[in-house]
Structure 1
């Protein structure tokens, strides 16, 4: 049985990898490091285009596990149909929660407190004093209450909120309280001052934030997207931004990267960061710990963690 492992990091840069596996360094280069048909464990390169990540998968006849270094797996899903049954797809749960939670909080505070305007004012030597919204006493609605959604709530906890409302695919109860089902969103949106999107991109969430969703948001509400760009209908969002009814803070956009000349760049009330929720100094140590743990389990034929789906199941 083949023991090739394709890694986007050099094996000698990762302490604790198990012996007995053949480590091949591949980070999306044109040339493959070995025959893809011999790859048993494929670690998908991080922050590469979907076409790059998917390119070797059609030839991976022996692969038994595909490990992403992102929380989302939408960038490799189309290539799964080329794999044999029984291949496990694992995500990077535990890697991005801290960084994404930090950025979400930063986007909320910057947007509410007017930080982008202060920066522009500093450039023009203008003193832009006045009253600005606070996060205190606000209601925050988190759409997508997985590990990242929970990490976002962790960071919101000290800010004296009125309440946090949680929404996920299905209803459940957590230590912090009730999680509402996605079907309850229409009734929950009108009371939210801040709506945070941290949901995976699936058939159910693609275009979730459409004209109807946005129309249900209260006047003056803030939409924060740290999920995936296509969760939001960009045309519908632009219409609401241009009439000034809501504001937005976006770490992801559709299209992405946002091209020069796109109207979203200069829409009123929008703050845009270039998809930096995950790539921080916190990424590498957490990613390496995940790979060491997963590959040790793999070498001992133990169950893998973070399994999202199994092909053919």
Structure 2
């Protein structure tokens, strides 16, 4: 995914070319580090103090790469949103490249199998990016449990908090997360953080994930159930599975029809995991509600039914790291470069076998 950046923010000009390295790390072993991303992102992800940290363990190239148009002599490439795709042709110009550290979430959009075939180490800051997504999700679940979005619209039209919402189903137990049954689809990095947050709110958590056995789910604080049972039982359903061929349309018309009257679906994962047309049909009648930070297509065209329904909130893919949150991704990436320079294992290592079941 390409993240839009503020065009008014110029590329940084305060980083010297090949700054001096830590005297304890001689130039002969200090790795050459380069950045590949949208240039205006660099000061957001890597403020000057973080770039100085990098200079203590490596020689940092000043120029941010946004097009691979020549030889690449870097040993470690730090990538971000907008990084050009790294394929066999690019690798042919980068004989010294030994690691790619992604200061964002998914690596699937910019790395090909050729990177793994050559034995290049790959790391992602997905765990760091999972934190703001989980925080956003929990906030939406708290508000959705109180029907805050539909009630706010009703209020603006002359309604009041104690009034029933015309055309929107409201089970009698609605009133907050404590004691509510929440279904989590996918024990991803975000999903696991959300489960922990739900438990702290006193919710009962159901988990559907084919890779997580019942014992592991219990350790996380959830009860493992098949997806159909989760849909039948949960008052709120939150989606955290990766987009794979087998997960596209995971919540289709049949499964959405299994949801209880008044159920709320929250999606901060990928829009394609929910059948959009089926969701429109279910929400249009007011039987269920939805909070969508991702949609299929994305963005939705003007006038799309989901944008006008009183029981649906659509936000423009804002749950991931933004603004001050971006520094967390930079800190994670710098830590990974420090581990590489010192021969330590990567915290965010991605293996080729992981690609079939991660976002």
Pick the TM interval, shorter chain: 0.7 to 0.9
Helix, strand or coil at the partner of 2:107: coil
User: Where does residue 102 of structure 2 map in the other structure?
Assistant: 68
Q: How far apart, in 2, do the equivalents of 1:134 and 1:59 lie? A: 55
In the alignment, structure 2 segments of 5+ residues that lack a partner are 1-28, 164-169
Helix, strand or coil at the partner of 1:72: coil
Shift of 1:277: 1.1
After TM superposition, list the pairs within 5 Å mapping 1:114-263 onto structure 2. 114-120=147-153, 123=156, 126-130=158-162, 133-135=174-176, 136-161=178-203, 163-172=204-213, 173=216, 174-177=218-221, 180=224, 184-263=226-305
Q: Are 2:195 and 2:222, in contact at CA under 8 Å, matched by a contact in 1?
A: no
Shift of 1:118: 4.6
Over 3 Å counting, the alpha-carbon distance change for 1:205 and 1:304 in structure 2 is same
Over 3 Å counting, the alpha-carbon distance change for 1:240 and 1:120 in structure 2 is closer
Shift of 1:186: 1.9
CA RMSD of aligned residues (A): 3.0
Shift of 1:16: 1.9
Shift of 1:27: 6.9
Over 3 Å counting, the alpha-carbon distance change for 1:188 and 1:117 in structure 2 is closer
Over 3 Å counting, the alpha-carbon distance change for 1:258 and 1:43 in structure 2 is farther
Shift of 1:220: 1.8
Post-superposition Cα deviations, 1:152-194, rounded to whole Å, max 9, x if no partner, equal 1232234332x1112323123153445637xx21233211111
Count, aligned residues: 299
Over 3 Å counting, the alpha-carbon distance change for 1:248 and 1:159 in structure 2 is same
Q: Are 1:4 and 1:39, in contact at CA under 8 Å, matched by a contact in 2?
A: yes
Q: How far apart, in 1, do the equivalents of 2:297 and 2:146 lie? A: 27
The TM-score, its normalising length taken from structure 1, stands at 0.82
Over 3 Å counting, the alpha-carbon distance change for 1:180 and 1:68 in structure 2 is farther
Q: Are 1:100 and 1:152, in contact at CA under 8 Å, matched by a contact in 2?
A: no
Name the one with the larger strand percent: 1
Shift of 1:245: 2.2
